[in-house]
Every structure is written in structure tokens, then in C-alpha cells.
Structure 1
């Protein structure tokens, strides 16, 4: 066989293969570039959170609330991935509702179930998103926490972290319910105490008013009796002839023959309250007391009535002037003590 012919054939084959190889390499390079631009680069950007670390605080706390794009339903996969990438950069993993990375990724998977970017992103960011949800639970934003946990469950329904988050959420709900019940009980107790205090105050004021009215009526009655007795005595003196003075006639002050113990007021006795009352009164010519009234007392209006009733039962040997029984005035201090 002619070696020249073989060499020429080989050269021709090589010349034919070279364009094909170049075309294949070009296609592979184009595919690699497209993969880098459409898959790898967006994924790396999505994963670059705080220099590769987990968010320090929840996305709801860091990022301001933003309204979701108006045309989310009409977005294609690439647009949804772009919105998800933007949400990741702004650390909006789970919040706000409708405008967060997880919801955008889930929409991507709804349109393209095998999308590698969305699948990987949800898997890699799940721990960080769960941490955000836990912080929301701890802050007792219970409705928001429930929404975020449900969103996590759509991404990975079998993840054990969901069990922990739900347990913490239930515990916070029970604690919030207990605290709310305690607050209601305390408020109700305070209202009942205020009503009871107001009722007691009204009753005490009414009782004091009644006692004062009764005391005033008794004093007025005693004064009227004293005036009548004075008028009767004046009429008797005018009707009787003036007796000749007797040098040996008796002259003396009224002498107490029979005293009466005052009754201790029930309320003051229960309260252990003590005091005294100075009572002024008139001793009639018959040895009885009239015009019994309070001169001074400490405390006022507590023992007055008991003191007046006691003195009203006193009996005296009347004062004598020149052998004749006459009216006289006296004062008596009555002590009230729980130890008597």
C-alpha cells in the first residue's frame, strides 16, 4: 500500500474531525456559561448571607415590610428566582407574607418541581428560616409564627425542627392564655374590691348621718324638757309664799346616789376602740337628770349615745339651798376602755 496515500487520507480525516471537535467544545463552553449565569451564580448569590453566616436577627425584624409584587401570579421561573434572590439578600426568608424567599421558591417548584436552584436554596436556608420562626414564637407574635411554621412545612414537611417549633408555639399560646386569664381575674377582683369599698363607704356615711340625726333629736327633746321644767319651777316659785329664812337650813350640792354603767358600742368594741365623753346635765329637784348633753368627746360621735343613756339613769340627792331642794348643773367624764 502506498504510504503517501495513507498519509494523505489521515490528513484529510483529521481535517474533517477538527471542525467537529471545535464545535463540540464551543457548545460545551456555551452550556457551561449558561449554567453559570442561570444556575450557579444566582445560587451563590442566594447563599451569600452576611458573609456566609446565618441571619443574626429575624428577617421580619431586619427588613422593612414590603408589599408583594403585583404580578406574582404571572411571573415565570426566572423572574421568581430573581425575586427570591432579592429577598435572600434582604434577609426576608419567611416574612413579610407574600414577599419572602420561601414563598417565591415554592412558587418556582409549583411551576417547575425539579428546579435545582429552588430545591437547594430551600434545603440550605431551612435552618436559618427556622431560627427566624423561633424568634417570632419567642416574641409571642403567635399568628405570624403559625404562618411561618406552615410555610416551613410546605418546604420540608418531615423536618423534625417543625415538631420543636410547634411545641414551643403551643407552650407560648398556653402561657399567653394563662396570663390573659390572670389579668382578667385580677381586673375582676379589683372591680369587686372597688364596689365593696364604695358600698361600705356609703353605708358608713348613712349610718353616721342617722346617728347624728338621732343625737340631734335627743338633744332637742332634752332641751325642750329642760325648758318645760324651768317654766314649771318658775310657776311654782311664783305661786308659793316666800318662806322666812331659816338660819339652820341645809345648803349642799347634789350627791350621786345611783350610777349606771354605760353600754359599750358594738362596733367600737369589735374594733378595740377606746375613748371618753364629758357629759353635762341638770339635776332636778327630784334628783333626776335632765338636759343631758355632750360637752366634749374623743373620738366624737362614737360613745356619745351610750354616755347620754347612762347619765340619764343616774339618781341624785338634789342640791339644797336653805333647806329647799333646787336644780343644779353638773358634768361627768365617762371613760370607755376595752380593758375595763
Structure 2
């Protein structure tokens, strides 16, 4: 018994797609063993409805999965491989097995149809918890304690789903991938064209494919896809409304800040005006004082000149007498 049998195997599983139709199991294992030993490798060959091969791989250690995902892109036989963590059925629904997404929808799990009021479910607390899974590009808070987080890498979303369940203040969270309407349309096209249907096994003929198209499994897939499409449009509209609302609030706050800045500038202008008036008054007082001093000085000069003339006349008078 390997160590993988003693620990949850979901952290050791990897899905590899877009493999060459000529790929061999040994060749794929040799490439993967550059990162770690391969315990199991199940290769699904190409057929008349699938032009490429894909494989499910069980690695020896979960660190090897992390190294493989962090060192993307990978190339083999001149083809770029598509790697994603293999999500077990208990961690995800069927739709999430086919598509990756950089967006995750987070909400409280309503087990008893009771509305949960959680005031601490805010941007800061959500980021503090979920930023450990990767770089967050955007976080959209929605109504009813829901949010959509956009990551820079779809692997972050898969890691969140693998680590389920998650709890927020003892309340269990429901974690789902959030797909855009374009992604869901792509998946719908895959289901509606026989040659693009997901593989049901080896050696299937047209009759088996036709039976699958009329089976409850296919009907449930289409119903789930339709529900996801409706939810995607609804959430997309909520995100747009929330973005507009946040932009509106940002504009209002910016307007308030500008008004406060204008008020502060007006106060400073008033202070400068008062200082200017005080300086102007001071200058006028100085001019008046200078003018008065100048008049006094001119009067003193005139008096001195008159005295000099008077003394000169007296001297001349004395000289004439002698």
C-alpha cells in the first residue's frame, strides 16, 4: 500500500489534456517523472469523436502537482499540454469537470433555508482568507452575503474547491466556479455536437451516443447547464450593477473630497486675503509715517537754512560796522 492510500488522494490527481494522438503512456510518464514519481497513469486514446488524447495521473506527492502547475506551460510532442487538478465528484459538479475558471462564487451554505446575517463578511476579511490561494485581481461583493473573486490563475480556484469545506465564523461556505456566458455557450456547443461529446468509454458506436443524448444523465447535464447560464447572467448583471454602484459611490466620495479641498483652499485664500489686507494697511501706515517724517525733516532743513541765512546777515552787518 502506497502512502497515497493513507492520505486523501484528491491532492495527488492531475488531468492532462491536448495530448498528441500518437502519445504513449511510457513517454508521458517519463516526462512527468522529471517532477516526481508517477504512481498511476490512465491514458485515454483518441477516437472518431475525439482528436486528442487525455490522461488522469496520480503522482507520488502533492508537491509534485504544485510544481507541475507552477511551471506551466508544458510542451510534449510540440503540443502545449492542458493541465488542471482532477476534481473528485464530492468536490465539484459535472460542469466544473469540463471547464476551468479564474472566478469563484462564494456564498453561505443554506442548510435550513435560514437567512444568514454576517456583518463581518466584508472585503477585508474575505481577502485575508482567500488571498492565500493566489493573486486576487478583483473582488465583487454582492447582495445576500455573496461575492465573486477573480484570480489571475484558474489553479487557485481548483485549490479552493479541493480544500472544501470552508467556514466563515462557523458558517459553512458554498464554493462554486463562476463561468461567463461565453464559457457556458462553449460548453453547450460541446454537448450539442456528437463529435465533441465527453467520452463515455472505449468502443462506443453511434447507437450508444444516441442513447446518451436521450439519457437522464445528459438531460441533467443540460438542465444544470441551463441553470448555470441563468445564474451566470444574473450574477454578471449584479456585478455590473455593483461596479456601477461602486463607481457612483467613488464619484460621490471624490466629489466630497474635492468640495472639502475647495473649502480648505477657500479658507487658505481668506487667510491670505486677510494677511494681504493687514500687510497693505501696515504699508499704508508706514507710508503715512514716512511722509510725516519726510515733512518734519524738510521743515528742519528749512529752519536750519533760515537760521544760516539769519546768521550770515548778522555777520555781514557786523563786518560793515567795523
TM over 0.5: no
- Structure whose residues are more often strand by fraction: 2
Structure (1 or 2) with the larger CA radius of gyration: 1
TM-score (norm 2): 0.33
TM-score of the pair, normalised by structure 1: 0.32
Instruction: Identify the structure with the greater helix proportion.
Output: 1
